[in-house]
Structure 1
């Protein structure tokens, strides 16, 4: 930071400290102004010009430095100067102050951000150049964020000062008038009877209604503006057109058909999307075969004779396809046509916000219109630009299921959920698996202890883990495929037969013609959606992997409800998508299931919490199945049983997590779980025992001590009995 910037920071700090020390925050209160109202009015009457200039100067400083009191000063402007002079003074002062804050933020921070986040700032600048004035006006009229944050944030963009000042002045004017007018009426209160005057009631009614009126006006202007240049069809072929037949698209179409809307679903290949054809269903079928192999290999755990696992990999993959075929009718075009959905196979691209051009798989082309359109085109595996990787004919979660020969040496790139699930499955099926991850641990979104438990299990199952390894190059040497990785400055050579790439996913947007309707994708490939899942236009929506931020089948289905309902009924009411309770499961063995905050996230967000832990080696059902390992960890606010987050690591973790997810969704605490009867012996009893651990830690020791003395007194004994602590009944059904 330059000396000039340090001088400015020092000056700002000195003014702020002086404001606090002098009690400025106490002076700029409504009560203080009322207490000194008569005195101030007499002085202003004798010194009107000086009073106005002084008021403007103070207002500018308060606004420029984001000091508390701007709202009170706006009311004071009306109270002491009236509507005309007050509106002029406040309007000019607030614009000057906001512009100064804008310039200060630009001078102090913008250059640093440009260097560190060049691409992000450049994208912001393009957006500001295109729509900046309108969005600034929207924020001023309907302040979603406090004005001081708007002043600082806009200073970091490329918006011109002249544009910023002019738009701010014009957009703040209506709100300024409402506040100033309220101030004029406030100054008239001399008795309790004045409180019921029509003028005062009208002023404060305007104060309350202004945000709603402004929001309606902004929404109306936005709709007119965003649709400018587009001709809306006089009639429509459908109420809803859905692009994509995966989880999000199927749910969107199902909802529309259920409420008797005319809906068409357009899919390029197979209905069911990734989940059915290349994702959840086939991967879980493969994982189950791998678990069976592990059980046979370690049958001695159950008092049986362990046997060497022999089998045909081709048969295993055939079983996977049989499972897919068995589930397929749930997502078939026949089923959806019976529900009332027109299933169309072809490629769709936007012509306008209401019209799609559809190229049918049989070669025909037609144009279809709808009141609303939902984009649900899903995602695909990401392929990192590593030299030589494409020459290896890499496997990924899409093409893996055509594999008929089991690789003897499988290199897995990626330590996230997909890479970890498939690496563990192939290791249990007998492949020698080398798993490469750039980070220093697996499953980076989970807490460190979770990653460590999975790491130990992977190593026990023979996986060659290469953490903190970055793949740099692939090649064929003497007929052998090799990868070169960088690890702590060294170049590591790894030989393999097949490589499976699992380093993330990217959205499917190619060929949609999004640029035809002015939509640009985000840096991660997804499309920018609003809280109602709309996509720039109020009648165009996106959901699922193409929209993010979660890439789960259940998240896609959750978003699809909002997209479909808002698409069909959004003119009457719009719903904002709710991500507060989003569970997920990684199907390694043990499984990792989580909902809500992790410890790392709670610390990062500064949220106070305490941890309740229950070890699954204490659970009777786990012991009977020789799967007594793992734990449950629940985060709660200190002293309260409200669930902030829960993680389950162990067998059947996904099923155990459901109880915590339900409790979080409906605001039920651990006491409610503890008070619920759970059948014995089941895996879900572990949720009750975890709640019991919390209860034990928060048992009222004072009351328990008094009860101990009471019971002793009732027995006629003066001797002390051993102190007991509260614990839930671990076996409510009786003796084992």
Structure 2
């Protein structure tokens, strides 16, 4: 700690200590002022300026040192100086004192607090930087928290000193007037509770609604400013227009129709979006066929001497497209029209905050006015501008489904979920697959042991896994396609026949009017906690809004976006991301919800780790899938779940129990107390909870219980202790059935 900070801290501590050591707080009681009121008033009459300055200085010192007594001094100001002068003195003295406390907190504590808890405070810091003045104003109007606490806490945030000063001056003024006015009647008040007369209670009630009024006024002012250059229609053709018929768009329009709103859904390409046509459905269909082949190769593990399969990759791909066709009616125009949604095939462009221009695929044009708009435009594969990539040609997760011949040598760029899933899948069909990863492991969002387990399986299945390789350029030499990559300072040449680029997806931000409106965007459209853009009646949901690119998250967001769009300003809901699960459908399957170890450590979040190895699970053994684990992070000493990672067969299904538990505040004790069918893989969840319970068994109590049972058997205490030494249950190996 710097010398100046140490001196300041020592001074503050010493001053506070002296205040209490010499019992100075007795001078800041209501009884003292009442007994000395006549003498104080005589002093004020004799030396009015000195009295005012002296009172001002003491008030500044009390609030600056965060000492008790400010409330009583405010009452005394009314009694001594009257409503006008008392309000003036207290208003400035309290604000200056509060600012001094604020600056002391900032100088002494802020750097230390931010250095240690900066990651956890990031959201608070960003909120204060953006709307700190309003938050402070609200806290000043309604004294839910003591003012000295507000002073100290605000000193830890990035709010500007001048902003803190003038907002405090303004925000505390109404309360100052109320207290000073009460002080003018000090002679009639016997206790602090005496100031709660019906009139004063009404004043405080008004103070309570001030923040709501102020918030509404701020919203109105912001809305008038952002809508200033646009003409709002007097009547609207629609309650809601939804752009994009992927998961977010379909759910949004479905909800709108369900509550009898007039809704139009616009889709320029295919209903169902990426998930149905190029993502979840086709990839899982292909993975299933590949998994069948992998099981046949393992036939001897299941007591089958030999098993072989003949297949044509074109037939496999035909099955994939047949499955898409089977699922298609769920997301079809006919179904949504039947539900009450107007579906238009065409391109939508937002031309004003309340108008959407639609160019129909059949050549028609129309413009619809609407109260609200939801943007659910989705995302597209990101293709980095690597030199030579256009020369060699490439597939993405959108176009790989046009393949009908199995590549002899497939090169995959990217070790995230999409790249990892398709790498293993094509390898199981018999392609020689090389996976290029810039980092040291695939699936970098997961814990290192998870990545290592999947990588070990990849290598065992013959996949050429190249970690630490930086893609530099592509070349074609003598008709052969070659990747030039950098690895440990050397250039590596990797020949291939087909290239799959799977390095992530980018939100669709262009082509439907965001630029003309001036809606802020980054990697995604910027939205608030209600999924509103900078225009309060325009919302975004799904991949285009982030922060997750999952079909189930898009549907989850769609509920909030549609309900808010249809019922604001009467009712709005903040999007809840407290328990977002996901799975990567490699083998072994990986599923997660909440924190994992690497995230908890990166954010300095304390946790306790409980692990159950699926190798001990009866059903996994019977199925020949005795590998993987359930790993649970909990609050130290408690069963509250912070996060869960499951690796193993059907991990994506098993995680659902933990998602429900986290979403509804249930702990491991509740999971342990739930009956799970035997033998199932779901028992792994119960046994993980059992591991936590075993680690937290009350050992002292159990010792006394052991003595109790020994006593009931008629055995002496010494024999009981001997039994414990020879057969201590804590040292026995656990069984998955116990």
TM-score (norm 1): 0.85
Distance 1:274 1:417 in 2: 15
Q: Could you tell me which of 10, 31, 34 is aligned with 2:29?
A: 34
Contact 1:692 1:727 in 2 (8 A): no
Contact 1:223 1:538 in 2 (8 A): yes
Which residue of 2 is the match for residue 662 of structure 1? Answer: 660
Aligned to 2:51: 48
3-state SS in 1 of match to 2:368: strand
Distance in 2 (CA, whole Å) between partners of 1:265 and 1:467 is 44
Change (3 A) 1:444 1:98: farther
Are 1:25 and 1:68, in contact at CA under 8 Å, matched by a contact in 2? Answer: no
- DSSP-derived class of the 1:532 partner: coil
State the partner residue of 2:515.
515
Shift of 1:362: 1.7
* 8 Å CA contact retained: 2:345, 2:361: yes
Distance change >3 Å, CA 99–CA 712, structure 1 → 2: closer
Task: Tell me if 1:289 matches 2:285.
Answer: no
Q: Note if contact 1:91-1:169 (Cα within 8 Å) is conserved in structure 2.
A: no
Report whether the alignment pairs 1:233 with 2:223: no
Equivalences for residues 381-530 of structure 1 within 5 A: 381-522=381-522, 524=523, 526-530=524-528
Q: Relative to structure 1, is the Cα distance of residues 497 and 695 closer, same or farther in structure 2, using a 3 angstrom cutoff? A: same
**Structure 1: gaps (5+ residues):** 1-5, 111-123, 157-163
- Please report the TM-score for the alignment, with normalisation by the length of structure 2: 0.85
Aligned counterparts of 1:574 and 1:496: Cα–Cα separation in 2: 53
Pairwise CA distance, 1:191: 2.7
Equivalent residue number for residue 529 of structure 2: 531
- Contact 2:412/2:502 (CA < 8 Å) preserved in 1? yes
Deviates more, 1:678-687 or 1:243-252: 678-687
Give the deviation of 1:147 after TM superposition: 7.0
Match of 2:116 in 1: none
Task: Report the Cα distance in structure 2 between the residues aligned to 1:259 and 1:190, rounded to whole angstroms.
Answer: 58
- CA–CA distance in 1 between the matches of 2:659 and 2:51? 63
Name the CA distance, whole Å, in 1 between partners of 2:736 and 2:19.
Answer: 58
Q: Which of 541, 544, 551 is the aligned partner of 2:542?
A: 544
Residue 8 (structure 2) aligns with: 15
SS at match of 2:242: strand
Relative to structure 1, the CA distance from residue 681 to residue 213 in structure 2 (aligned partners, 3 Å threshold; closer, same or farther) is same
Q: Kindly state the Cα deviation for residue 640 of structure 1 after the two structures are TM-superposed.
A: 1.6
Mark the CA change 1:397 to 1:501 in structure 2 (over 3 Å): closer, same or farther. same
Matched, 1:80 2:100: no
The structural deviation recorded for 1:149 is 7.6
Q: Does 1:724 align with 2:729?
A: yes
**Superimposed CA distance per residue, residues 104-148 of structure 1 (whole angstroms, 9 cap, x where no aligned partner):** 999xx99xxxxxxxxxxxxx99x99xxx9x956534434699677
Q: What SS class does the counterpart of residue 500 from structure 1 fall into? A: strand
The separation in 2 between residues aligned to 1:353 and 1:75, in whole angstroms, is: 53
In 2, Cα distance between the equivalents of 1:26 and 1:462? 76
Which of the two has higher C-alpha Rg?
A: 2
Correspondence 1:243-392 to 2 at 5 A: 243-307=243-307, 309-392=309-392
What's the offset of the Cα at 1:92?
Answer: 5.5
Q: Report the CA distance shift for 1:653/1:667 in structure 2 as closer, same or farther (over 3 A).
A: same
2:118: which partner in 1?
A: none
Give CA-to-partner distance per residue, 1:310-353, whole Å, 9 cap, x none: 42111111111111111111000010001011000111111111
Contact 1:533 1:562 in 2 (8 A): yes
Aligned partners of 1:328, 1:381: CA distance in 2, in Å? 22
Shift of 1:663: 1.2
How many angstroms apart in 2 are the aligned matches of 1:633 and 1:647?
5
Comparing 693-702 and 504-513, the one that deviates more: 693-702
Give the secondary-structure state (helix, strand or coil) at the position aligned to 2:29: helix
1:545-593 deviations in Å (ceiling 9; x for gaps): 0000011000000000001111111121111111101111111101111
Q: CA RMSD in A?
A: 3.7
- SS of the aligned residue for 1:699 comes to coil
Call closer, same or farther: CA 1:92–1:591 in 2, change over 3 Å: same
Secondary structure of the corresponding residue to residue 23 of structure 1 = helix
1:610 aligns with 2:608: yes
Q: Out of 196-205 and 571-580, give the one that drifted further.
A: 196-205
Aligned residues: 690
Query: SS of the residue aligned with 1:607?
Result: coil
Distance 1:686 1:575 in 2: 35
Counterpart Cα distance in 1 of 2:567 and 2:632: 39
Aligned counterpart, 2:629: 631
**Distance in 1, Cα, partners of 2:211 & 2:612:** 49
From the superposition, tell whether residues 591 and 149 of structure 1 become closer, same or farther in structure 2 (CA, over 3 Å): same
Give unmatched runs, 5+ long, in structure 2. 112-124
